[in-house]
A and B are shown apart, each in its own frame.
Chain A
Amino acid sequence: MASIGSHYLELEQVPLVFDPLEKTKGSFFDQGNFQMFCVQEGFSKVKVKSVKEEDNFNLTIPQRGQVRSIKFSGGQPKILSIQTRSNSVEFVNVFSSDREQTLPLKQHQYDVVGFHWVFRNDYVILITTSTVELYSCNSSSLSFKLLKSFNINVSWAIFSPTEYILIVCSKGGNFLHPFYFRSGSSVPITRLPKIEIELGPSRDLKASLKERDVFVMTLYGHVYIAVIRTSPQGPGFGSEVLLFHLPHDGAAKLSHILNMDIPGRCTLSVVDNLVVVHHQASKTSMIYDISFGGSISGSTLKHNAVLAPLPLSPTVVHLRQRSGSKTPSPKIITDDSLIAHDSSITSITPELYSSKWIFFQPNVVIDAQYGVIWLLKLNLTSISNMMTDKCNVIQLLLMRSGGKDVIVEVFRECLEPGRQANLSILGAMFDQLNHAFKILSGYHDIGPGKPYQNSISQREFYTNVLVPFSDRKDMPYQYMVAVTIEYIRSLNKFGIQVEHFLFELVMVILIENKCFYQLHQFLQYHVICDSKPLATLLLSKELVYSPATQLAMDMFKRLGTADSEIIDILLSRGQILSALRFVKASDKVDTVSARLFLEAAANEDDHMLFYTVYKFFEERNMRLRKRAEFPADEQCKEYEELFINWFGGKKT
């Protein structure tokens, strides 16, 4: 990990290398299957590269000249689709036989702008200069049937294989026509209302939407069409990103605007629901989080970058030229141990933001020069370190899939003696945390939930944050208690049942530091919730703090399910009459074990007491069975005898 503060975005290398551009007659990246096609001289040989080594293979395709586009279908069998001519696409089941099958639209009247597989190998969407046509595909017979066709003057189109969204830009105007594919229905395509894009003041006619400025992205489970445009104030004022929220039905509408006050070309990625804007001129990137409440203007939210722009973290690629093979292709070495001493390995540091870079959605970065592919990643730690507002940090982290550990880190930081955070801030952070917890644990009764990715349970917070500090000498116990109580307060705020180990922690600390009266006040106000474990803990503290007994008793009483405990305590303290009174008060007279009480009374070696208890149960016997004697199953024989030799028979 690079030094904190220099960057917050990293490139993670994908173990997939392909022949650098100059070695091929063209390389094609298929987002859908994450495959790279490298066309060799003669246009008949194609190397197919995948992330998995074993999925790499070579293809031989019919010699028909320049390959314009090539990709496999999804599903089985995998159908290879190639476009070599401007107005036709051919389909081959390369795996079954060489039997080649071209689409019936041989010599289509229009030039093909693009084509994409939809839902594995079930459908093909074909975009021509004037139409958008959907075909169903019978993969076995490789026969195609036209299902639907729209007439549009297409200038370009983009397709999201993940969301099955097609955006078509019509010629001339600045209109975007979204299409949305819904599986299941017989004609699984829906045309959504078109969107007009204001291209700012610069009124020159040439100005029109460029394919490279439009993106389909998913943020927090919603589909957006992102459009980069120079800010309305005109060029030089930097550009902004318009985010159109695209519902599965109905019109898309502008919902967010990301301000970037730097002019010049840029492109977008999406990492973990954050929008990343890469600015080529300055070779920096910035991140935006649309879940952060920005400034509201009308129905849209304007957002600023979460942090100041910084370059990606530099990365190094280690390559070994394969000797022997006549078409040598490099191999990536990831095992550092080899790298050290192996002359055949060359290490290169690709230029960041080079012109050879191609960005694919959501976060794919391809360097055509070296034939390497990266995935863009966030470095949450540095982000959280760079952000000053800890509450925002927590919120941001709560919405990142990998945020959990970092959150723990952040809290640890805040508790670190010496630079302990202000309680009010901590309180706010806790509220963030528990809000997320509440949402994720399925309560929706607390207003619009933010799209949280994770949260921290009480147990996790306790073991990972509190415990490590609780026994640190340099940690002032007051602060420790204060923090825990603050946390408990926050839990209460969201009506989350506080778990007993938190209370236990508070109690133990307070008891250790002899703050009994304070503890007492907590219990008095029921801040510390009742539970048998706690009551028992209290009971064990009786010697250091006598009121503990009373507190424990109260708890047992409130629990309502602990009558037997209460009775045991009273008996163990020789308060046998109190025990009996309690039994009467909670009318359990007929059910308690006489033996239990007689035994206790006998141990007290107080004749009068024993007499009283004995008579009490004798009376019970009379009431229940019309006879004073104890039934055998009560096992009171010895006490009957004891009574007789102390008081001589049943009479006084």
Chain B
Amino acid sequence: MATHQEAAVKSFFVYCPELSTKEGTEHLKVLFYFPDTAQLNRKIRNIGLCEALVNFCKTFSPDKPCETVHTQKTKQAFLEPEPGIWMTLTVTIPCSETIHNSERVLEYHEHLIQDSVVQAALQRSYNMFKLFNGTMRGIEATQSVEGLKKRLDVFYSRYWKNIDIARHNIFSVLQGIPFLPLDKYMYLKVHCFVNLVETTFRQIKRTVFVCGDQLVWSGLEQEDTRIFYQYLYDSWLRHNPNPEASGIPSVPAGPNTGSFILEDETGGKKNTWVYVMINQMLTPSRLFVYAVGPCVLCMFVQTDDSPGDDFIKRISVFLGPRLMHLTTEIRDFVSRNRSQSVEKQPYRMVYFNEMNLAIKSPLLSRYNSYLSITQDMMCLLTQLNAEYDKLNEGETVIRTIADYWIVARKNGHRRFFVLFTQKDVNFAEVNEEVRKICQKEFSNIYFFD
């Protein structure tokens, strides 16, 4: 295989058909188009095509709009995140050049980029925008279409540069949240600490407590938590790999004396606006993130006037010692219980619970690089996962041509995938292995075959 081209974002655009009513004004529909380098008429043409596809699909599926389109070279995902506003993401299918009958031909590996991945990436791009800007219609209402265009431009032209779609997989589709395994009392301590913070500083409406790259507590609603965690992970946790073996990474930049971390999108300021649901209302609030070692405390602050430095000083004075003490306790706890922490299992497995978005997988953890998994198999997992979206429950056992075994299982909103790479095992043995894993991992929940 001579050259190989990985999947890449070809284009992404946001458009609003109703903005152009008469011929020749199509350009008005375009709210945002990536890459910006494209010619206007190209933009218009592609958007036109998308509209056509969507409408054509409507004739047969009036209520369920068009989701994806495959061409030989690309996969496209469609989304109408807000009434009348459409988003389209186009991703090129990975291809490689081979010699076929002494001719150079391109081979497209369409299985290496899954629909679910493209759709998830699109949905996520919207969620992220919303997290930092609120709804598009909202912006339009307050700042007119031009204002919206500006906001979209500021956000997305930066956003898409940092997306490496080829690295996306089942995890980016599930967008699960890893929870730090703590015992009841330890957890209560953390929770009571959070309560203390919130009751001491009434301006703090919500709090999220993360340890290492695992969530401990979130006062946000579930969807917000999911999005916010993703943001936190991408922008902070991921870049601070764990020096300790303790299973919970410490955050080098967050000095152990504790300090505010995380500049906002534009950098500089110590706090940034985010839009999350508070009392069933999408509310803008300021985000403060304070870290001690591996422990990251995210506070969603609501104040009429911008909280001055004294506020920040007061918080850090308050948090510093307390959080430090708590951190030590958690560290000790984790190192005490490392043995049963999921990092240690030699299984290439993924566990996900739709109900609380909890995800468990050694593959996620940085310390399990030895659990390598080929891109092919990763894609197969992604594929199976997509298939299991449609199933309420069931189990699938697969032996691939390469003699890998994959077991997928879904039961009561929980799904579980495991890949066995040892070639010499048979069906029965695999079955037994899986039974063992479930015994070990899920004995305390209603989850069985």
Taking the complex as a whole, does A directly touch B, i.e. does some CB pair lie under 8 Å apart? yes
Question: Residues of A at under 8 Å CB distance from B?
Answer: 420, 422-424, 427, 478-479, 481-482, 485-486, 488-489, 492-493, 514, 516-518, 520-521, 524-527, 546-547, 549-551, 553-554, 556-558, 566, 578, 581-582, 585
Instruction: Give the nearest-CB partner of B222 in chain A.
Output: A517
Q: Could you tell me if B191 and A527 are in contact, using CB atoms closer than 8 angstroms?
A: yes
Q: How far is the CA of A275 from the CA of B411 in the complex (A)?
A: 67
Q: Could you tell me if B449 and A581 are in contact, using CB atoms closer than 8 angstroms?
A: yes
CB distance from B227 to the nearest CB of A (A): 13
Instruction: Give the nearest-CB partner of B185 in chain A.
Output: A492
CB distance from B169 to the nearest CB of A (A): 25
Q: Could you tell me if B444 and A521 are in contact, using CB atoms closer than 8 angstroms?
A: no
Q: How far is the CA of A526 from the CA of B181 in the complex (A)?
A: 11
- The contact string, 1 if C-beta is below 8 Å from chain A, for chain B 187-226, is 1110110011011100000000000000001111110010
CB distance from B278 to the nearest CB of A (A): 11
Instruction: Give the nearest-CB partner of A526 in chain B.
Output: B184
Instruction: Give the nearest-CB partner of B280 in chain A.
Output: A514
Q: Could you tell me if A485 and B188 are in contact, using CB atoms closer than 8 angstroms?
A: yes
Question: Can you list 29 A-B pairs with a CB-CB distance of less than 8 A?
Answer: A422-B196, A423-B192, A423-B195, A423-B196, A423-B199, A424-B196, A478-B198, A481-B195, A482-B192, A482-B199, A485-B191, A486-B192, A486-B195, A489-B188, A489-B189, A489-B192, A514-B280, A516-B222, A517-B218, A517-B221, A518-B218, A518-B219, A520-B356, A521-B356, A524-B358, A527-B187, A550-B413, A554-B445, A556-B446
Q: How far is the CA of A557 from the CA of B198 in the complex (A)?
A: 35
* B333 CB-CB contact with A under 8 Å: no
* B355 CB-CB contact with A under 8 Å: yes
Q: How far is the CA of A422 from the CA of B449 in the complex (A)?
A: 49
CB distance from B224 to the nearest CB of A (A): 9
CB distance from B399 to the nearest CB of A (A): 23
Task: List the 6 shortest-distance A-B pairs measured between CB atoms, nearest first.
Answer: A482-B195, A547-B355, A553-B446, A489-B188, A525-B187, A557-B446
Q: How far is the CA of A525 from the CA of B190 in the complex (A)?
A: 12
* B132 CB-CB contact with A under 8 Å: no
Inter-chain contacts of B195 with A (CB < 8 A): 423, 478, 481-482, 485-486
- Beyond the given A520-B356, A524-B358, A547-B413, please list 5 additional residue pairs across the A-B interface where CB-CB is below 8 A: A422-B199, A423-B199, A485-B188, A489-B189, A554-B446
Inter-chain contacts of A566 with B (CB < 8 A): 446
Inter-chain contacts of A520 with B (CB < 8 A): 222, 355-356
Q: How far is the CA of A12 from the CA of B182 in the complex (A)?
A: 55
Q: Could you tell me if A527 and B446 are in contact, using CB atoms closer than 8 angstroms?
A: no
Known contacts A485-B188, A485-B195, A489-B192: A585-B356 contact under CB 8 Å? no
Q: How far is the CA of A585 from the CA of B358 in the complex (A)?
A: 25
Known contacts A423-B195, A482-B198, A485-B192: A550-B446 contact under CB 8 Å? yes
Q: How far is the CA of A409 from the CA of B191 in the complex (A)?
A: 27
Q: Could you tell me if B192 and A525 are in contact, using CB atoms closer than 8 angstroms?
A: no
Q: Could you tell me if A525 and B182 are in contact, using CB atoms closer than 8 angstroms?
A: yes
CB distance from B176 to the nearest CB of A (A): 13
CB distance from B344 to the nearest CB of A (A): 20
Inter-chain contacts of B86 with A (CB < 8 A): none
Q: How far is the CA of A551 from the CA of B411 in the complex (A)?
A: 13
* B448 CB-CB contact with A under 8 Å: yes
* B233 CB-CB contact with A under 8 Å: no
* B179 CB-CB contact with A under 8 Å: yes
Inter-chain contacts of A525 with B (CB < 8 A): 182, 184, 187
Q: Could you tell me if A479 and B448 are in contact, using CB atoms closer than 8 angstroms?
A: no
Inter-chain contacts of A493 with B (CB < 8 A): 185
Q: Could you tell me if B218 and A479 are in contact, using CB atoms closer than 8 angstroms?
A: no
* B346 CB-CB contact with A under 8 Å: no
**Residues 137-186 of B contacting A (Cβ, < 8 Å):** 179, 182, 184-185
Inter-chain contacts of A422 with B (CB < 8 A): 196, 199-200
Q: How far is the CA of A295 from the CA of B219 in the complex (A)?
A: 44
Instruction: Give the nearest-CB partner of A514 in chain B.
Output: B280
Q: Which of B185, B189, B191, B225 has the most CB of A within 10 A?
A: B191
- The contact string, 1 if C-beta is below 8 Å from chain A, for chain B 352-373, is 0101101000000000000000
Q: Could you tell me if A517 and B225 are in contact, using CB atoms closer than 8 angstroms?
A: yes
Inter-chain contacts of A585 with B (CB < 8 A): 448-449
Q: How far is the CA of A530 from the CA of B138 in the complex (A)?
A: 44
Q: Could you tell me if B356 and A524 are in contact, using CB atoms closer than 8 angstroms?
A: yes
CB distance from B353 to the nearest CB of A (A): 8
Inter-chain contacts of B82 with A (CB < 8 A): none
Instruction: Give the nearest-CB partner of B358 in chain A.
Output: A524
Among candidates A427, A518, A550, A553, residue contacting B192 with C-beta atoms closer than 8 Å: A427
Instruction: Give the nearest-CB partner of A577 in chain B.
Output: B393
CB distance from B416 to the nearest CB of A (A): 14
Q: How far is the CA of A427 from the CA of B196 in the complex (A)?
A: 10
Known contacts A486-B195, A520-B355, A550-B412: A557-B188 contact under CB 8 Å? no
Instruction: Give the nearest-CB partner of B190 in chain A.
Output: A525
CB distance from A415 to the nearest CB of B (A): 12
Q: How far is the CA of A516 from the CA of B219 in the complex (A)?
A: 10
Q: How far is the CA of A481 from the CA of B80 in the complex (A)?
A: 39
Q: How far is the CA of A585 from the CA of B223 in the complex (A)?
A: 34
Among candidates B185, B280, B356, residue contacting A547 with C-beta atoms closer than 8 Å: B356
Q: How far is the CA of A45 from the CA of B179 in the complex (A)?
A: 88
CB distance from B446 to the nearest CB of A (A): 4
Known contacts A478-B198, A479-B199, A581-B449: A521-B217 contact under CB 8 Å? yes
Q: How far is the CA of A176 from the CA of B191 in the complex (A)?
A: 58
Inter-chain contacts of A521 with B (CB < 8 A): 217-218, 356
Inter-chain contacts of B189 with A (CB < 8 A): 489
Inter-chain contacts of A486 with B (CB < 8 A): 192, 195
Known contacts A485-B191, A492-B184: A582-B448 contact under CB 8 Å? yes
Instruction: Give the nearest-CB partner of B191 in chain A.
Output: A485
Q: Could you tell me if A489 and B185 are in contact, using CB atoms closer than 8 angstroms?
A: yes
CB distance from A422 to the nearest CB of B (A): 7
Inter-chain contacts of A516 with B (CB < 8 A): 222
CB distance from A620 to the nearest CB of B (A): 20
Inter-chain contacts of B188 with A (CB < 8 A): 485, 488-489, 492, 527
Q: Could you tell me if B356 and A578 are in contact, using CB atoms closer than 8 angstroms?
A: no
Inter-chain contacts of A485 with B (CB < 8 A): 188, 191-192, 195
Q: How far is the CA of A528 from the CA of B222 in the complex (A)?
A: 19
Q: How far is the CA of A481 from the CA of B196 in the complex (A)?
A: 12
Among candidates A514, A551, A557, residue contacting B444 with C-beta atoms closer than 8 Å: A557
Inter-chain contacts of B196 with A (CB < 8 A): 422-424
Instruction: Give the nearest-CB partner of B445 in chain A.
Output: A554
Inter-chain contacts of B182 with A (CB < 8 A): 525
- The contact string, 1 if C-beta is below 8 Å from chain A, for chain B 214-252, is 000111111001000000000000000000000000000
